[in-house]
Each structure stands twice: as structure tokens, then as C-alpha cells.
Structure 1
Amino acid sequence: MEQAHADVCGGNVCRSSDLLLAFVNSGPHGSGQAELLGDTEALAAWMTGAGLMGDSEAITGADAVAGRELRDALATVFRAHSDCPDGAMLLSDAEEYLRRTAERYPLTLRITAEGCDLAPSQTGILGAFGALFAAAADLASRGIWARMKVCKNPTCHSGFFDKTRNSSGLYCGSACSSQAAQRAYRSRLKSEKGLQR
């Protein structure tokens, strides 16, 4: 597993995936996580903590709503990567939202001797949202965007980076995989008992 991780996740890739996973996992989900983007103060604290903006920059209530909508759209895409049935149903709306929203946060190509990358063209909260789009573009350009997934365990639904060699991971870790296997086993036993009656 570690070798697979080294093969697909190096330097900027880990920074990009870590940023997007932290953002997607900022919402309430099955593991008991509280809402971390609930209001302007919470969004400011999260963006500042992620190093995307300074702590003195202004954020509005509309920005907090935009942050939650962006997070939910990204989570829907990650759910589709995991073949979650509800992810597929909501995917076209999420993709349309991301297309429209990306226009508000333009990116600039930054070229250096080491290579090139995309960076936000704006500062403040607009630049912070732009940095999230730049991270997505980085992962897509490296061919590993589809490895950004949401755990299929219904009691979890945490975002994770699929480190499996063939990108077939469905669970964020062994605990969730075991829970899902036990649930499937109990369901099969129940079905078998029902058929024997």
C-alpha cells in the first residue's frame, strides 16, 4: 500500500489532495464530524488554518453559503468516483454548479524553471476558493482526480485518497471495510434464513 501511495502521491499531489480532502471533510458526516463551515467566523478560521488567506480578511454570509455549496459539489463528485448510487444521481447538477462557479475564481498559469502550475488570480476569500479549484486542476492534470473518493460505508462517508494500485478502493480504511463486510455478511444470512422458510 505504501508503494502505491508513493507511486501516485508526491509533493504537490499530496498538498492538493490533502487540501481538497480537508475541505470535503469539513462538513458533517457519518463519523460524527460537526459542521466546520457553518458561518462566516467558521469559514474564516478554516481558510486561515488551511493557509489560503490571512486572518484579517473579510468574509460575508454569502461566502459561507458558497463554501458549503462548493464543498457539497466536490463531495458529490467524489461520491461518483466511489460508484455511490446517490452520487451518480446528483452528479450532473454538481458538475454544472462547478462549471458555473469556476468562472468566479479565475486561475493564472505560473511558470518557473521547475515547471508550471495554476494559482488563484485573486486574493482573500475569492483567492481561497480559487486555490481549491487549482488543487482540483493539479490532480486532474496528473491523472489521479478519480482517486478522490468518499467512503462507501454509510456510517462514515469521509473523503479519502484511493491509494490502491488499481484505484479500486471503496473505503477510507480497514475499519470501514470490515464494517461493510460484516454488514453484507449479516444481510446474506438474513436472506438465506428468509429463503429457508
Structure 2
Amino acid sequence: MKVLMFGWEYPPHVYGGLATANFGISQGLHAQGDVETVLCLPHPFGDEDRSACRIVAMNCVPIAWRDVDYDYVKSRITNVMDPDYYYRLRDHIYADFNNMHVNDLGCMDFAGGYPSNLHEEINNYSIIAGVVARTEEFDIIHAHDWLTYPAGIHAKKVSGKPLCIHVHATDFDRSRGKVNPTVYSIEKDGMDNADCIMCVSELT
């Protein structure tokens, strides 16, 4: 079985509980022996543990066509992603995103972590997820907490594969009642579109 997993952080770059949980899930799936995990991260650094998953650097996924030389691509992304995979992904660009803030490889940059433009980065991540979902063959989608629910929903619409979402906490928990309507909407959309919802506790 192959899992297309959308994560936001991963050790050793730990900003909160998501990295630890994402690592535990990927290691646990790997221990099953018959599960392959493709883990999408906004901004990997190249020093992540890749023993349990193949990491896709979402900031190296082209969403706009650029005619770039192999050696140049290799010099730019080889520390985080296989250059050959860049060209596979480029063949699955599904719309004209030249109006977005793309770099000379046709890719979008991510700050990593939780920047002030977090909602913009969540949206950009979901656009890129469409290219990955059109490139990969997989059996199930795992979206890790609300930041990646839009990406998981996009991948489900593209592939028709079931979506499993992971819930660490809802905005009701985090905000102590002062709910951010945008975050709530993303969370609700994820739950409405999910085929399976995994919570971190019975309380949740």
C-alpha cells in the first residue's frame, strides 16, 4: 500500500507537536513492512530522517513550466529532492500559475514553520498538492492537521482516493472559545470531506 501524506513539519525541525506525531506515524507505517509513504513537506532542509518515507519538497515542485537545464536543477534542489523527480512533476502541471510568485524553477517558496502569511502558504501548498497527486500513484491520502486539509481535499478530488485526516486539536481547543472563523472553516471542510478522522485522544 502507498500513502500520500501531507505534513507541515518533521524532525529535526520541530516547531510543535506536529513534527513528532508525523514522525511517529511514518515510522509506524514503515514498521508494517508493506506500506510506502510519500511525505510532502513545505520546506524540508535535507537533514530529515528518510528511513521511513520518501520526502517531497513542496518548494521544489514546479507549478509553472520553466525550460531549465538538468545541471542547474541539480545544483538548486539536489540536497532535498531528486532532480529527475522535478521533471516528472513538471509533466503534470495542470494550470497556468505564472501569475503566482514562482521562482526561476517555476516553484513557490515557503518560509517553513508558521509565518505571518500562514493562510496564503496553506493555499499555495494545496495548489502544489494538485501536481503531486497527478504525478504519484497511491492508495490513500493522509492530511496531517488543519494546515494540510485543503491539500488532502485537492488530492482526493484529483485521484478519487480516500482521505484520512489527523486532528491534533480543533480551534475551539486552541483558542479557548475565541474561534478564528477561517481556521474553523478549514477544519470543518476537512472533516466534511474526510473518509476517516483520526484524533489524538478520546477527549478530542
The alignment's TM-score, normalised by the length of structure 1, stands at 0.25
Instruction: Kindly indicate whether structure 1 or structure 2 has the higher relative contact order, using CA contacts under 8 Å at least 6 residues apart.
Output: 1
More helix by share: 1
The alignment's TM-score, normalised by the length of structure 2, stands at 0.24
